[in-house]
Amino acid sequence: MEQNDDMLQQLILDGMVEFAGIDEKTGEMLYAFTKKAIEEYPGFIQTSIEEHIRDIYSLWELGFLDMNIAEENPLVRITKKALDQEQVYSLPTELRLTLQQIIEASRDNGEF
């Protein structure tokens, strides 16, 4: 864990990552890539995007999301299962955080 902390600290010092907030449920600090990182390391960012998309498909397969995967840009909706805190907390951290981001985006868009 210390090595990851050192790496994160270096990314922040290099201007590649910035503080994005605190997870309300877990208290974990959240970070985001900066514009500098996107411009200087597009391959790395693309890999991160692909991982995020894989997480979305995993959540769909597990029944937390509903979407028509046959569409090029499917509309993603949360299911009742995504609102069941017990089931949400059974997810691995990375999937839980992705689901929380989707739920927040849905709220911001007035979808529920």
Query: What is the mean predicted confidence (pLDDT) over 104-108?
Result: 79
Is there a single domain that holds both residue 18 and residue 46? Answer: no
Is there a single domain that holds both residue 83 and residue 49? Answer: yes
pTM of the full structure: 0.67
Query: What is the mean predicted confidence (pLDDT) over 37-56?
Result: 88
104 contacts 111 by C-beta, under 8 angstroms: no
Query: What is the mean predicted confidence (pLDDT) over 36-63?
Result: 90
- Helix 93-108 and helix 42-61, axial crossing angle in degrees, nearest 10: 90
Mean pLDDT, the chain, rounded, equals: 86
d(CA 24, CA 54): 24
Please state the domain count of the chain: 2
Query: pLDDT by residue (tens digit) across 58-85?
Result: 999 999 999 998 988 888 999 999 999 9
Is there a single domain that holds both residue 14 and residue 55? Answer: no
